[in-house]
Structure 1
Amino acid sequence: MSSRTPQGPAPEASVLKARLERAREAAAGTGLLIAPGSDLRYLIGQAGGSFERLTALVIPADGPVALVVPKLEAPGFTGSPLEELGVDVVTWVDGDDAYGVAADRLRGAERVAVSDFTPALHVLALRDALPKVEQVLAGPIVRELRMRKDAAELDALRKAGAAIDRVHARVGEWLRPGRTEAEVGADIAAAIVEEGHVLADFVIVGSGPNGASPHHAVSDRVIEAGDVVVVDIGGPVAEGYNSDSTRTYAVGAPRDADVAATYAVLQQAQQAAVDAVRPGVSAESIDAAAREVITAAGFGDLFIHRTGHGIGLDVHEEPYIVSGNGLPLEPGMAFSIEPGIYQPGRWGARIEDIVVVTADGVESMNNRPHHLVVL
C-alpha cells in the first residue's frame, strides 16, 4: 500500500517540455536519473512516491526520455502529460530486473547524475547495473534550473505567502496562558489547511525557554503569562510551492526586561538583510547584512544559523543565504530572510519572510507586521 501527498494539476506541457530540454542541456553529456520527489515534479509535473520498487525518470545524453515505473504505480502518473512530453513509459512487474531496464537506457554513458535524495537501496543497485559508469549527484545540475522561478512559480509562492499570513493573523485566537504548545500547534495546523494549504508541513510553537531552540516543534509545556513565543509555520499549496514564515509573540507583557531592546536589534537586522537584496549581490552578503547588526549589538554568538534558504517545491533548497556562498543573486531567486537571537534557558525570537529578487530589488511574499506581537 502507498500514499501520496495531494497535489494540483501539472504545469502546461510546453513548460514541462522546456524544463526537460534545459535539464538535458545543463547535464552536458551526463545521463540523468531522477527519483520521485520535488525534482521529478519539477520536470514532469508529478512527484510520484519512493518505495522499495524502483521508479525513475531516465534522461540519457541523447535518445528518448523514459519513466521507468512499476506497473502498479503507473496510474499515479496519469496527471502528467507524458505522451505530449515525448516520455516513454516503461513499466515492469515484480520479478523483472528494473535496474537493468533503467541501465539499458543509459548504456554508453560515462557518467550518470542521480537525484540527491535517491534511496541508497536504488543507488547501490544501479551502481551494480552500471559498474563502469561514474555516479555523481544531480543536485548541481537541477538546481541551476530550479533556483530561478518563472512567473507561474512566483504566483504560487505569492499565494502560499498570503495564505500563511492569514494564519499568523489568527494566532491570537489560540495562543494564551494555560494551553500547551501542542494544543496551540494543533489549532494552527488546522488553520494552515483552512487558509489554503494542502497540508501543514511543519508547526513550531516555541514558548519561553523552548523558543531558544530554533527547530523546537511543540511540546506539552503549558504556556505562561509573560512568555515570548516563536511561531514558525508553513506548508505547500496545491501547486506544490511552499510557505515558511516566522513571527514572535508575547503572551502579555514579557517577563524578561531585556526583551524589548533585544527584539529591536533583531527587527533592525532582518530589515537590513531585506534592504540589501538586489540582483548581482552575493548570497553571503545578505547573511552579512543581518549578522553585522546582531554582532554589533553584542548578540553575535546568539545568532546560531544561516540567515536564509531558498524555497519552492521544497521548503529548503538553493540558494542558501550563508557565509561562504558567493553566488550572485538573480531575478527570480526566492529565499527566506530569518535572523534569530536565542537566549538559552530563557527565550528566543526570530523574524522570517520569504522574498524574491526582482529586476531592480526585492519583493516580499509575506506582509504581516514585524514587531513583537503582544497578545
Structure 2
Amino acid sequence: MTDAVPTELLADRLRRAGEAAAEQGTDVLFVTPGTDLRYLTGFTGASHERLTCLVVPAAGHRAPPALVVPALEAPGFADVPLEALGIELVTWTDGDDPHLLVSDLSGGPTSMAVDDDMPARHVLGLRDSFPEVPQSLAGPVLRTLRMRKDPAEIARLRAAGAAIDRVHARMGEWLQPGRTEAQVGADITAAIVAEGHAEAAFVIVGSGPNGASPHHDVSDRVIEPGDVVVIDIGGPLPDGYNSDCTRTYAVGGEPPAEVKETYAVLQEAQERAVAAVRPGVSAASVDRAARGPISEAGHGARFIHRTGHGIGLDVHEEPYIVDGNELVLEPGMAFSVEPGIYTPGSWGARIEDIVVVTTDGVERLNHNPRDLVVL
C-alpha cells in the first residue's frame, strides 16, 4: 500500500537521496521496508524474512534505482509509482540469492550504506555479497532529508497535533479517583483512534509514584484523590505522521504547595525552551534553555532525560534535542520540547509539545493549556 504523497514529491526525495549520498561519499544506499522506504516511495508494507530492498545509487552513478522484491509480494507494489519514479522492479523467487541480485544491480560500488533498521540477516547477507566493500549506515544520509519537513509534512503533523489535543481535552471523562491506570488507558486508547489516529502507539498513565518513571506504561494501580498524573500519549494518523503530547493533571483536588511550586518551575522551563527555538541555534542550546530554570531551582538531578526528539513518520527520529548535539536548527525541523521533573517514590511531571522551526522562529503544534490541570 502507499499513502497519498504526490509522485513529484517522491521523485524529488529520491533525487535528493542520491545527491546526499554522493555528498557524503557513499556510492549506493540500500533501503528495506520501514519509514525510510515509505518516505522515498510511499510504500507502507512491512518487512519479512524475504529480502525487499530499494537500491539507490548516488548521483552521478550509471546504475538506475531498482527495487528488488520477492515475486510473491510484487502485487503489493501495484500502487507504488515505480515507472514514474524511474525505479526498475526486479523480482526473485525462492531458491535465488537476492543479496547477490542486489549486488548485480549496484553498479560496482566502492562504498555502501544500509538502512538503519535493516534486519541483521540482510545486513550480513549484503556484506557477504560485497566482501570488499565498506558498509556503513544510511541514517546519516537520509536524515539530511527527513529532518527538514516540507509544507505537506508539516500540515500532516499539525493535523496529528490537533487530533491528540482533542484527546487531552477529554481527559476529565476518564481520569478520576477510584479507577486504575489500565482502565483510564483503555479509554484513552479508544479515544485516540476515535479522534482520527490509525492506532494508539503509546499510552502512559503515570499516577502518583508511577509518574516519576518517564516511560511508565499503565498498571493496576488505583488512582487516588490528590494524585499527580502524567499522561503521555500519541500515535500515527492514517498517513503515517505521528502525534506525541504530554500533560500533567492533579486528580481530585488542588495539589500541595510544593507540587505547585515545582510545577511552576517546570512550566517556566518548557516556555523558555520553546522560546529558544529558531533557525541558526543549536539543538543543544534548546536543551540548555530547558535545564536552566530547573537547575536554578535545585531540581537539576531530577530532570533525567533529553529535552526532545524529532518526529514525523517515526515517533522518535532526528533531530535530538540534547546536550552535546551542536546540529544547527533549520526551518522545517520538527521535534518535541518536553522537560520533566521526577521525584522517585512520590510523583513526577512533564510538559510536552511538538514544535516546528519556522523561517523566523517557532510554531507550536499543540495548544491545550500547559497549566497543572485540576480534575
For the aligned pair, the TM-score class normalised by the smaller chain equals over 0.9
Does 2:37 match 1:32?
no
Q: Structure 1 residue 311: deviation in Å? A: 0.5
Q: Select the residue among 3, 19, 22 that pairs with 1:9.
A: 3
1:182 alignment counterpart: 182
- Give distance in 1, aligned partners of 2:364 and 2:145: 22
- Give distance in 2, aligned partners of 1:8 and 1:202: 24
2:196 alignment counterpart: 196
1:369 alignment counterpart: 369
Q: Structure 1 residue 139: deviation in Å? A: 0.3
- Give distance in 1, aligned partners of 2:64 and 2:84: 13
Q: Select the residue among 29, 37, 42 that pairs with 2:39.
A: 42
Q: What count of residue pairs does the alignment treat as equivalent?
A: 369
1:3 alignment counterpart: none
Does 2:340 match 1:334?
no
Equivalent residues in 2 for 1:214-225, closer than 5 Å: 214-225=214-225
Q: Structure 1 residue 332: deviation in Å? A: 0.4
- Give distance in 2, aligned partners of 1:79 and 1:235: 25
Equivalent residues in 2 for 1:1-375, closer than 5 Å: 9-28=3-22, 29-61=26-58, 62=61, 63-253=63-253, 256-375=256-375
Q: Structure 1 residue 92: deviation in Å? A: 1.3
- For residues 174-222 of structure 1, the C-alpha deviation after alignment (integer angstroms, 9 at most, x for no partner) is 1111111111111101100100111111100000100000000111111
Q: Structure 1 residue 75: deviation in Å? A: 2.2
Retained in 1: the 8 A contact 2:116–2:139?
A: yes
Return 5+ residue gaps in structure 2 as ranges: none
Q: Structure 1 residue 288: deviation in Å? A: 0.3
Q: Structure 1 residue 93: deviation in Å? A: 1.6
Q: Structure 1 residue 9: deviation in Å? A: 2.5
Structure 2 residue identity aligned to 1:229: V
Structure 2 residue identity aligned to 1:315: V
Query: Match of 1:188, SS?
Result: helix
Q: Structure 1 residue 8: deviation in Å? A: 6.3
- 1:145–1:160 Cα change, 3 Å: same
- Give distance in 1, aligned partners of 2:182 and 2:94: 43
- Give distance in 2, aligned partners of 1:180 and 1:286: 36
Retained in 2: the 8 A contact 1:227–1:254?
A: no
Retained in 1: the 8 A contact 2:201–2:234?
A: yes
- Give distance in 2, aligned partners of 1:298 and 1:286: 19
Retained in 2: the 8 A contact 1:109–1:133?
A: yes
Retained in 1: the 8 A contact 2:278–2:361?
A: yes
- Give distance in 1, aligned partners of 2:2 and 2:244: 19
Retained in 2: the 8 A contact 1:9–1:79?
A: no
- Give distance in 1, aligned partners of 2:49 and 2:346: 45
Structure 2 residue identity aligned to 1:369: P
- For residues 334-358 of structure 1, the C-alpha deviation after alignment (integer angstroms, 9 at most, x for no partner) is 0000000000000000000000000
Structure 1 residue identity aligned to 2:35: S
Q: Structure 1 residue 80: deviation in Å? A: 1.6
Query: Match of 2:3, SS?
Result: coil
- For residues 14-44 of structure 1, the C-alpha deviation after alignment (integer angstroms, 9 at most, x for no partner) is 1000110100010015200001111000000
- Give distance in 1, aligned partners of 2:330 and 2:288: 18
Q: Percent identity?
A: 68
- Give distance in 2, aligned partners of 1:280 and 1:172: 40
- Give distance in 2, aligned partners of 1:159 and 1:57: 30
- Give distance in 1, aligned partners of 2:330 and 2:114: 26
Retained in 2: the 8 A contact 1:338–1:351?
A: yes
- Give distance in 2, aligned partners of 1:43 and 1:261: 47
- For residues 289-343 of structure 1, the C-alpha deviation after alignment (integer angstroms, 9 at most, x for no partner) is 0101100000000000000001001011111100001111111000000000000
Structure 1 residue identity aligned to 2:9: V
Retained in 2: the 8 A contact 1:282–1:326?
A: yes
TM-score by length of 2: 0.96
Structure 1 residue identity aligned to 2:40: L
- 1:125–1:8 Cα change, 3 Å: closer
Q: Which runs of 4+ in 1 moved over 3 A?
A: 254-257
Q: Structure 1 residue 238: deviation in Å? A: 1.8
Structure 1 residue identity aligned to 2:74: A
The Cα RMSD (Å) is 1.1
Retained in 2: the 8 A contact 1:10–1:46?
A: no
Query: Match of 1:294, SS?
Result: helix
- Give distance in 2, aligned partners of 1:46 and 1:225: 48
Retained in 1: the 8 A contact 2:160–2:237?
A: yes
- 1:346–1:256 Cα change, 3 Å: farther
Q: Structure 1 residue 153: deviation in Å? A: 0.2
- Give distance in 1, aligned partners of 2:82 and 2:249: 47
Query: Match of 1:101, SS?
Result: helix
- 1:255–1:276 Cα change, 3 Å: closer
Query: Match of 2:206, SS?
Result: strand
